[in-house]
Amino acid sequence: MAEGKKTQKIYLYTRFERFWHWIQALMIGGLLITGFEIHGTYTLIGFEKAVKIHNYVGLTWLIMFAFFVFWLFTTGEWKQYIPTTKKLISVIQYYVWGIFKGKPHPVKKSADSKHNPLQRLAYLGISAVLLPTQMATGLLFYLYNMMPQGFPLSLLAILHTFIALLLLNFLVIHIYMTTTGHSFFSHITGMITGWEEVYENTQIEEWEMPGKKP
The structural domains of the chain, with segments of one domain joined by +, span 7-199
Chain-centroid distance of CA 192 in Å reads 15
> 7-199 belongs to which CATH class?
mainly alpha
Q: For residue 66, give the nearest of 139, 172, 168, 171 by alpha carbon.
A: 139
Strand partners, 10: 196
Q: What is the pLDDT of residues 108-124, one digit of tens each?
A: 888 888 899 999 999 99
Within its chain, how far is the Cα of 19 from the centroid?
A: 13
DSSP 46-80: -HHHHHHHHHHHHHHHHHHHHHHHHHHHHHTGGGG
pLDDT in tens, 19-71: 999 999 999 999 999 999 999 999 999 999 999 999 999 999 999 999 999 99
Task: Tell me which of 45-54, 102-111, 127-136, 166-175 is least confident.
Answer: 102-111
Output the pTM of the full model.
0.83
SS3 191: helix
- Whether the pLDDT of residue 206 is over 70: the answer is no
